[in-house]
Structure 1
Amino acid sequence: MRAQATDGPLLRNTAFRWFFTGRLVSLLGSAMAPVALSFAVLEASNSAGAMGAVLAANTLPLIVFTLAGGVVGDRFPRRLVLLISHLGAGISQAVVAFLLVSGHYHLWSLLLLEAVNGTLTAFTTPALRGIVPDLVGRERLRQANSLLGSVRNATKILGPAAAGVLVATAGGGWAIAIDAVTYLLAAGCLARLRPSTAPPSTKDSPLADLRAGWTEFRSRTWVWLIVACFGVVNFLQVGIWRVLGPLIARDTVGETAWGVVLGVSATGVLVASATMYRIVPRRLLAVGQLCAVALAFPLLALGLHADFLWLAAAALVSGLGTGVYGIAWETSLQEHLPHEMLSRISSYDNLGSFVAIPAGQLAVAPLAASFGAAHVALTGGVLCAVLILVPLASASVRGLRHG
């Protein structure tokens, strides 16, 4: 695939338009899946520990196979990698939906299927980051990331709220079924992209490819420093938000309101993404890192047992901040890293960012049992805010320029 014209509306680019459409339909279903799965497991097991185990089962294979996913994303056509991974995700989610809808829930079966989904994601994420420059070219990366970020979070506005309603009425399995269908539709869109005729970027062995990616990753202070800090932030934030969040919300604001809160957060990210299409900070990464501090606000609200309005307000501000950060990080990587190594470096980013998440997902339930869920959420929020600010002490982060 080759980037098309650089002038005019970005969606006139045929390849990007098909890719954009595929992401739209896939993310529409995926926005419903976390809420549906969380409450479906809680309903079936009434155990925060079981929910943490299911979430960890998804994340562990993502960690194990993410480096392999980076090598594959640089050695093979990224379109093909994404096509296969989306087909696999659609099939596995369809099986999850069948088990939940038919009442044949068993913890081991969900653990296995979520492990399959995590494995597929390990190959999807590096290819997604690497394919965007193939489609639009370097000079339109920020705009492309802004559009993709907008659609990603626009789907999260209605998706979690709809999932909350479905969980309360029909059960979470139906939301998972919708996710399965959208994965398959997205695969159809990806199939419309023209196959790349470019040869593999390297003829070295996979191990040599990994070493080359590692050398490039560790040679850039701004990359590894942010990844290291966010590795700890994700340990805290993901475990608290995904495991304790629904648990606290069920006792305070309710399942449907929790879905609305997630939708409000997505609204904030959508507004930020749309704004970033036009606004071009010269020190894009530093601005994004500062805005990312807002990620801690909803944890603080949970810890303080805030009512629905305060929790929603915290989620909105968090969405605004993390929306700016997401585009800043994606664009900075795509602009300043070698394109032929982008998937491999992205895989090291994913590994560092995700490696501690399963431990966080498994640890929060016993920590909450010992110290109280609210106390764990409050402490985690404070630590997240401090850790996100740490990279700004580095001149390589503050001085990185956009464009």
Structure 2
Amino acid sequence: MTFAFAALAVSDSGWGMPIVLLSLWGTRMLLIAPGGNVSDKYNRVTVMIAADLVRLLAQIIPVFAFITNTATLWHLGISAALYGVGTAFYIPASIGLLPRIVPKESLQKANSWIELTLNTGLLAGPALATVLVSLGGIQTALLFDIATFLISIACLSVLFRLPKGQLLTNGLEESDDGRTAESVNDEKENEIPPGFLNGLRLLPRYPGVLWLMLLSCPVQFSIASISVLGPIIARDSLGGIAFWAGLATALAAGGLAGSFLAGWVKVKKPVLLVLVVLTICQPIQLVLFGLGLNIIVLAVSFAATAILVTIAGILFDTYVQITVPDSALSRVGSIEQTLMSVMIPIGFAVSLPMAQWLGSSQYLYSLAAIIAICGLIAAIFLFPRQSRIDESQTRMTQRTGSNK
């Protein structure tokens, strides 16, 4: 939000926002894969501190420019690009680090609280940025951002100073280089050498991760499309922009509720639950919105979908952290982030022209059909293999118990 205010302050023509967004998303999309590779190869806390230092520098550049009254669009473009670079390395490292600092049985709740914090920030951030800009100008809001990164670096420094023995292995013996014995064995047996492409080759061995990741692509595309078309449909067909404001509030409230509830949800087959939620709930929301029903029905639909999709996302993140070997976890996380980084901008770009060509309702129905078909395909290819994997894991657990 601070970047948005800054872009408007230096560019009356309106070109500031697309340049800033392209700089931010472009560098993030290009470097998220190397970010995952680096995070699996080196100490993840070190990578996160370095990434925060880069993002801190990204905030300092425009602060200096605004204080000296020399701010231009190029300052913001460079700042956004640097911010995207830092984020591209920070996210994969954080995905891989969490299982090393949180016990396995608490991973889902930890993911829940992280998502709750992010959703709270998304809600409170715009209001806080507005207050700071109103009171002290753009530079005040940017200085506040700098303070948050300093706090983040200080917190990460505490983890950096922890002895290696205090990093969790979730009951697994560590090797000399800090990796768990399981991840070392997996790397030897499954030939998972360093490199992003080798992380890609690993995915078919984990069908639940692969197919749910692929199914999330049309879901993310549809979410981006709704964010573009929602205000337009509300203005033209549903009685005004206030209608969309109500639905956006329902989405935000559902996301917060889902983030909290996910920490308490217990399921034996998370892959099945995530598949059902993505295949059914998102298409229902799209169809109901295309039908243009009254605001109460749509608000309930949007809130319920946000709750279930948020819970499904947290269950999926936890499943990935438990299933994928530690030595490749950041790379797999970067693959997921790459897909999101691609699908969201594409959804932003094509939704309006496609809706104008097909009609808004028909476009939404088409997206619903695509998601449902992709979900059925995923189920056909996923569950025969997943059942064999579950049976194998059950036999292994039974053998382990009998040996004890």
- The normalised TM-score by structure 1 is 0.71
Are positions 1:218 and 2:196 aligned together? Answer: no
Amino acid aligned to 2:154:
G
Deviation of 1:111 (Å) = 4.0
Match of 2:336 among 349, 355, 366: 349
Alpha-carbon distance in 2 for matches of 1:386, 1:120:
37
The SS at the match of 2:195 is: helix
Q: How many residues are treated as equivalent by the alignment? A: 365
List per-residue Cα deviations over 1:166-194 (Å, max 9, x = no partner). Answer: 89999988766644432332222222223
The SS at the match of 1:193 is: helix
Query: Which consecutive unaligned segments of at least 5 residues does structure 2 have?
Result: 165-175, 395-404
Alpha-carbon distance in 1 for matches of 2:249, 2:384:
35
The SS at the match of 1:355 is: helix
Match of 2:218 among 221, 232, 243: 232
Kept in 2, the 8 Å contact 1:146–1:276? The answer is yes
Kept in 1, the 8 Å contact 2:63–2:142? The answer is yes
Q: How does 1:179-328 map to 2 (within 5 A)?
A: 179-195=145-161, 197=164, 199=177, 208-238=194-224, 240-245=225-230, 252-253=240-241, 258=245, 262=248, 264-292=250-278, 293-295=280-282, 312-328=299-315
Kept in 2, the 8 Å contact 1:267–1:316? The answer is yes
Are positions 1:133 and 2:99 aligned together? Answer: yes
> Considering only CA atoms, is the larger Rg found in Structure 1 or Structure 2?
2
Alpha-carbon distance in 2 for matches of 1:194, 1:186:
12
The SS at the match of 1:282 is: coil
Say which structure, 1 or 2, has more relative contact order (CA 8 Å, 6+ apart).
Answer: 1
Match of 1:79 among 38, 45, 62: 45
Kept in 2, the 8 Å contact 1:53–1:111? The answer is yes
Kept in 2, the 8 Å contact 1:159–1:263? The answer is no
Deviation of 1:132 (Å) = 0.8
Amino acid aligned to 2:269:
R
Alpha-carbon distance in 1 for matches of 2:133, 2:379:
41
Alpha-carbon distance in 1 for matches of 2:129, 2:294:
21
Query: Which consecutive unaligned segments of at least 5 residues does structure 1 have?
Result: 1-31
Partner of 1:12: none
Alpha-carbon distance in 2 for matches of 1:334, 1:86:
23
- CA-atom RMSD in angstroms: 4.5
Deviation of 1:195 (Å) = 3.7
Give the % identical residues: 24
Kept in 1, the 8 Å contact 2:35–2:334? The answer is yes
List per-residue Cα deviations over 1:204-239 (Å, max 9, x = no partner). Answer: 9x984334322212322222222223233333432x
Are positions 1:149 and 2:115 aligned together? Answer: yes
Partner of 1:395: 383
Alpha-carbon distance in 1 for matches of 2:308, 2:100:
28
Kept in 1, the 8 Å contact 2:35–2:89? The answer is yes
Deviation of 1:280 (Å) = 1.0
List per-residue Cα deviations over 1:270-323 (Å, max 9, x = no partner). Answer: 322332323311011221232235445666676566776566444322320122
Deviation of 1:134 (Å) = 0.7
Q: Residues 313 and 110 (structure 1 numbering): CA distance in 2 closer, same or farther, change over 3 Å? A: farther
Partner of 2:4: 37
- The normalised TM-score by structure 2 is 0.71
Kept in 2, the 8 Å contact 1:52–1:361? The answer is no
Alpha-carbon distance in 2 for matches of 1:313, 1:230:
22
